Amino acid sequence: MNRKKVVFLTGTRADYGKMKPLMLALEKNDNFDVYIFICGMHLLEKFGSTYMEVLKDGYKNIYVAYGLSQTQDSSVNLGNTITHLSGYVDNIKPDMIVVHGDRMDALAGAVVGALHNVIVAHIEGGELSGTIDESIRHAISKFAHIHFVCNNEAKNRLIQLGEEKNRIFVIGSPDIDVMMSNNLPTMEVVRDKYNIMFDNYGILMYHPVTTEYDVVDINIKAVVDAVMDSGKKMVVVYPNNDLGSEIILKEYKRLNDNPNFLVFPSLRFECFLTLLKNSDFIIGNSSAGIRESGIYGVPAIDIGTRQSGRYSTSGVTNIQHVFEDVDSILEAINRVKEYHISDFSYGEGNSVEKFIDIVTPNEFWNIEIQKRFVDYDM
């Protein structure tokens, strides 16, 4: 086939970790020219300027949208990203735009692709996110022309949303390929890089729930009170930059002089995986406690509503769910040793191979841009 131009849009450390295996695989394939459009939270110094981690990986065609300002008004960010990306797409003229998940950056990519008659491929659609993120994820799916999903549950939800079956491919979660590879840094390397000397530790990742902004301060106080009272050593990673993140960061200042806590704006994805693999548990409301923790059999304590419904039908059994209550959180921490059970509901580590097999044939690129709604057979 003729060489195809594929744009990957990344706005956060999380979506980059998910798409990186696919980016690297296409970069090495003579059938494709890969372009990386970096925007969103990557650009924020407060959250670790994570765009630099993308640059370190040495892709041939990287565009960092330095002039794309980020605010806590998601609607403003959406509009700005659409405007900026539209100009980029007009210049590159890609054959496909790849977006991931449920972030506003991905929605911008899906909108731009759809309105420019460029194939939009959505990674990990059809899942339940909880809060406003779930609405964003489903909206992206309706703009997308191709769906690369993790499992049959996600596929069935997309069918329920009116998507055509021939547009949906089950490949698993691409980051599991990284998790199960032999290329992760050793624990010794990670300890030296981040000066982490804990022998035993948990990981805390707690993000704001935008639909519960009025109680973010109460909720995060309960979480911090509980982890401090637990006496456990913990590696703490900053939240994403959604509305309410400033409240969480203010509360984390209480941890600065406590020797049991190390707080980081961000961690390189592979280093985070090594830390997770060797941790006693992960706590908070990050999807890492739903997805990645299960691969390694690391106990997870899911707090609050952010991941509501995400694992209700997946058979995940390494998770305890609690709300933002000090006593409940402490009880869950005391029970973590009961939850060392592995789960592979989201893939088996062969997503890249499946992805390449799908996008390489000429037939794939003949997909119709014009979609149609398929009525759900009740």
> 220 and 254 in contact (C-beta within 8 Å)?
no
Q: pLDDT of 160-180, one tens digit each?
A: 999 999 999 999 999 999 999
Instruction: Give percent above pLDDT 70 in the chain.
Output: 98
Let me know if residue 239 belongs to a domain: yes
Indicate if 152 and 234 belong to the same structural domain: no
Return the minimum-mean-pLDDT range out of 74-78, 129-133, 149-153, 168-172: 129-133
User: Which 8-state DSSP code applies to residue 375?
Assistant: P
Let me know if residue 75 belongs to a domain: yes
Count of domains for the chain: 2
DSSP three-state, residue 146: strand
Q: pLDDT of 258-294, one tens digit each?
A: 999 999 999 999 999 999 999 999 999 999 998 899 9
* Arithmetic mean of pLDDT over the chain: 93
Those residues with Cβ within 8 angstroms of residue 220's Cβ, 6 or more apart along the chain or in another chain: 206, 247, 248, 251, 324
Tokens at residue 350, please?
A: 């062969």
Average pLDDT over residues 286-315: 83
> 348 and 342 in contact (C-beta within 8 Å)?
no
Nearest to 89 by CA among 63, 71, 70: 63
Instruction: Tell me how far apart the alpha carbons of residues 321 and 308 are, in angstroms, rounded to a whole number.
Output: 9
> 283 and 207 in contact (C-beta within 8 Å)?
no
Tokens at residue 30, please?
A: 């003579």
Q: pLDDT of 325-355, one tens digit each?
A: 999 999 999 999 988 877 777 888 999 999 9
Indicate if 21 and 165 belong to the same structural domain: yes
Tell me the CA end-to-end span of the chain in Å, nearest whole number. Answer: 40
Instruction: Tell me how far apart the alpha carbons of residues 117 and 113 are, in angstroms, rounded to a whole number.
Output: 6
pLDDT of residue 313: 45
Indicate if 30 and 120 belong to the same structural domain: yes
Let me know if residue 242 belongs to a domain: yes
Tokens at residue 277, please?
A: 């693999």
For residue 216, count other CB atoms closer than 10 A to its CB. 24
Q: Which residues on neighbouring strands pair with residue 236, listed in sequence order?
A: 204, 263
Tokens at residue 169, please?
A: 């491919």
Let me know if residue 375 belongs to a domain: no
DSSP three-state, residue 122: strand
Indicate if 192 and 151 belong to the same structural domain: no
Instruction: Tell me how far apart the alpha carbons of residues 219 and 203 are, in angstroms, rounded to a whole number.
Output: 18
Average pLDDT over residues 228-242: 96
Could you give the angle at the alpha carbon of 284 between the alpha carbons of 306 and 141, nearest 5°? 35
Return the minimum-mean-pLDDT range out of 57-71, 196-210, 305-319: 305-319
Let me know if residue 234 belongs to a domain: yes
Tokens at residue 148, please?
A: 């690369």
Let me know if residue 378 belongs to a domain: no
Q: What CATH number is given to the structural domain containing 325? A: 3.40.50.2000
Indicate if 232 and 156 belong to the same structural domain: no
Instruction: Tell me how far apart the alpha carbons of residues 207 and 132 are, in angstroms, rounded to a whole number.
Output: 13
Indicate if 123 and 205 belong to the same structural domain: no
> 276 and 289 in contact (C-beta within 8 Å)?
no
Instruction: Give percent above pLDDT 90 in the chain.
Output: 83
Let me know if residue 373 belongs to a domain: no
Indicate if 332 and 357 belong to the same structural domain: no
Could you give the angle at the alpha carbon of 99 between the alpha carbons of 71 and 125, nearest 5°? 110
pLDDT of residue 221: 98
| pLDDT > 60? residue 70 | yes
Indicate if 297 and 328 belong to the same structural domain: yes
Instruction: Tell me how far apart the alpha carbons of residues 36 and 45 are, in angstroms, rounded to a whole number.
Output: 20
Return the minimum-mean-pLDDT range out of 57-61, 230-234, 316-320: 316-320
Let me know if residue 372 belongs to a domain: no
Indicate if 128 and 259 belong to the same structural domain: no
Nearest to 179 by CA among 348, 46, 3: 348
pLDDT of residue 335: 95
For residue 314, count other CB atoms closer than 10 A to its CB. 19
Tokens at residue 343, please?
A: 């789960």
pLDDT of residue 315: 55
DSSP three-state, residue 244: coil
Indicate if 96 and 14 belong to the same structural domain: yes
> 58 and 23 in contact (C-beta within 8 Å)?
no
Tokens at residue 83, please?
A: 């405007």
Indicate if 206 and 135 belong to the same structural domain: no
Range of 233's domain? 187-339
Nearest to 7 by CA among 132, 159, 118, 105: 118
Those residues with Cβ within 8 angstroms of residue 76's Cβ, 6 or more apart along the chain or in another chain: none
Indicate if 104 and 229 belong to the same structural domain: no
Element at 3 (helix H, strand E): none
Instruction: Tell me how far apart the alpha carbons of residues 355 and 174 are, in angstroms, rounded to a whole number.
Output: 9
